[in-house]
Amino acid sequence: MKTSIATVSLSGDLRSKLEAIAKAGFDGVEIFENDFLVFDESPRQVGQMVRDHGLEISLFQPFRDFEGMPEPLRSRTFDRAERKFDLMQEMGTDLVLVCSNVSPAAIGGLDRAAADFRELGERAARRALRVGYEALAWGRHINDHRDAWEVVRRADHPNVGLILDSFHTLARKIDVNSIRSIPKEKIFIIQLADAPLIDMDLLYWSRHFRNMPGEGDLPVLEFMRAVAATGYDDYLSLEIFNDQFRGGSATAISIDGQRSLLYLGDQVRRAEPDIALPVPEMPARAGVEGIAFIEFTIDESEAPQLEALIQTLGFRRAARHKTKSVVVFQQGDIRLVINTENRGFANSSYLVHGTSAYAMGLLVDDARAAHRRALALGAETFAQPVDEGEIEMPAVHGVGGGIVYFLDRNSDLGTIWNVEFDPVDDPATSAGLSSIDHIAQTMQYDELLTWLLFYTSLLEAHKTPLVDIIDPSGIVRSQVVENTAGSLRITMNGAENRNTLAGRFIAETFGSGIQHLAFKTDDIFRTADALAAGGFVSLAISPNYYDDLEARFGLDPHFTERLKAHNILYDKDEHGEYFQLYSPTFSGGFFFEIVERRGYRGYGAANAIFRIAALRKSLEPAGMPRA
């Protein structure tokens, strides 16, 4: 499968864009005229530069306002085309994108447009060039690929073909099945883009909010299945106009782009097994049972404080590593690993970020297959030397450079707790925590789409709609990756500024990473009693919250009193009730949450402002002592 990306999708100058594109593994690049015009090298040198990066120019674009012009404008557009053809030949590309005319001067009429294209095809053929016609969703007379195809069909010239762009077709909700009857040799290239569903002007939506296939809400897979049905087997080219991408890292955006195309190709191959499109094979998305463990890196001197906090939460010391200073705490199915090693990645991570939950283990159906899929999708593998008798756990780098390990029940990886660890006899009593309900990863807002795509392309999981979390100092955008069973839930919080609690977490202490862990209980009140008995100090919530809550939900005052006595937050949706209880932060960084779900499906977004205010208060010098 040949992949390409338009230079307009990335930030930087042409040279740095090409470097990023080549490094991410693309085969081709669409040269946007403006990227060339602001660059100081000649067309010939630009062409050479592209080829020196091992890339090919998949097309040159755009050529605007061509078809259906009255004289003398018509003659001028042909002169203009000849000059573009000169440029293309010097650059070394044979395909130009002509987008449908938006000029008020355009006359319209399929036959008139077809005649113009036939003549353009003749001129292109003399130079062995090709012309691809694309219907812009806001074109003056042609704004539907079905009409563009009719123009191309009537032009009836071998050097004139159609360019299909998923955005233009899907934004106008045009039936994608109309693509299936187009002969594949008349489809010169496929451009792909997704977008979040926002009801706004088509042109503005397209120019600012496009994103990678799989990052938005459009049915790009259905579009691609229709394309694949034609037998099309050439370039898939990303053409993404997005303000955030144009301001972001060209390298990161390129990697996301390549990942999105590989993932899309994989989905098409699974849906249409006999397609001509040569899609690389990779294992299926990994089914996830849940988070098998969370590992903390911490200094030996600070570890006893963290262990004490964990113990007040009802965890018992369950196992000790045979050769390393690594201890496992357990409660129900939850395993927290405390790593105080003075060597290895955990230690380097500590030196850079301080105490943090730097690694997580995902319990998947087949760990090694999951790892192979992650690598096929461009993830960065993680490995460090293992000692004699140790099991090498497959892993990749995740959010903030942290580690995502893969475990399963069916291979030797399922025995790791018995093979590498000695059990510890600890009689501590459980507080009723049974499993990890969710983990929250905090990141810069512009990383949110990256990690959304990372998780959803790798795991059998889906994303939920974006939710705004109101922090007293700004907005944090939150989106969740979860599986249908609800056994994997990762809330991802994108901070737009460093004044929010999330932004401060990134800026001042830890970089992007896990900011809180939420554990599940079946009985929040019993757990709260057990915690209090064990000396746990919960995050103090403002009494005003409870007055408001009682009125908002019409709660029984006795019930509200019980919530208030334990600092339990409450929410309700159409599916049921939700209870939340928090710890203060540990050393100003991460914190723990305990939740009970009575059918409720969300994450207590309405309570976030109260929780954030309480956490902030606890961080003030005169506030509660840090845990």
Residues that bind Mg ion (CB under 5 A): 165, 191, 239, 518, 593
- Min dist CB 590 to Mg ion, Å, is 12
Nearest residue (CB) to Mg ion, 27 versus 593: 593
Nearest residue (CB) to Mg ion, 307 versus 593: 593
Residue of minimal CB distance from Mg ion? Answer: 165
- Min dist CB 6 to Mg ion, Å, is 8
The C-alpha angle 140, 143, 148, rounded to 5 degrees, equals 110
Nearest residue (CB) to Mg ion, 191 versus 512: 191
**C-alpha atoms less than 13 angstroms from C-alpha of 136 in its C-beta half-sphere:** 23
Instruction: Decide if 171 contacts 205 (C-beta within 8 A).
Output: yes
Would you put residue 231 in left (φ > 0), alpha (ψ -120 to 50) or beta?
left
Nearest residue (CB) to Mg ion, 77 versus 580: 580
- Residue 501's identity, in one-letter code, is L
Instruction: Decide if 462 contacts 456 (C-beta within 8 A).
Output: yes
Nearest residue (CB) to Mg ion, 360 versus 413: 360
Query: Would strands 381-382 and 395-397 be described as parallel, antiparallel, or unpaired?
Result: antiparallel
Nearest residue (CB) to Mg ion, 328 versus 549: 549
- Min dist CB 625 to Mg ion, Å, is 23
> What residues contact residue 348 under an 8 Å CB cut-off, 6+ apart?
none
Nearest residue (CB) to Mg ion, 286 versus 517: 517
Q: What is the 3-state secondary structure (H, E, C) of 444-481?
A: EHHHHHHHHHHHHHHECCEECCCEEEEECCEEEEEEEE
- Min dist CB 67 to Mg ion, Å, is 16
- Min dist CB 271 to Mg ion, Å, is 24
Nearest residue (CB) to Mg ion, 402 versus 604: 604
CA pair distance 321, 324, nearest whole angstrom: 5
- 268, 204, 274: which is closest to 241 by C-alpha? 204
- Min dist CB 172 to Mg ion, Å, is 13
- Min dist CB 59 to Mg ion, Å, is 10
- Min dist CB 440 to Mg ion, Å, is 5
Would you put residue 480 in left (φ > 0), alpha (ψ -120 to 50) or beta?
beta
- Min dist CB 392 to Mg ion, Å, is 33
Q: What share of the chain is helix, strand, coil (3-state, %, to 5)?
A: 40, 25, 35
CA pair distance 231, 234, nearest whole angstrom: 9
- Min dist CB 444 to Mg ion, Å, is 19
Q: Two tokens at 593?
A: 């949450």
* Sheet containing strand 356-364, strands side by side: 381-382, 395-397, 403-407, 356-364, 288-297, 334-339, 326-331, 316-321, 421-423
Would you put residue 5 in left (φ > 0), alpha (ψ -120 to 50) or beta?
beta
- Residue 337's identity, in one-letter code, is V
Nearest residue (CB) to Mg ion, 219 versus 344: 219
Nearest residue (CB) to Mg ion, 295 versus 437: 437
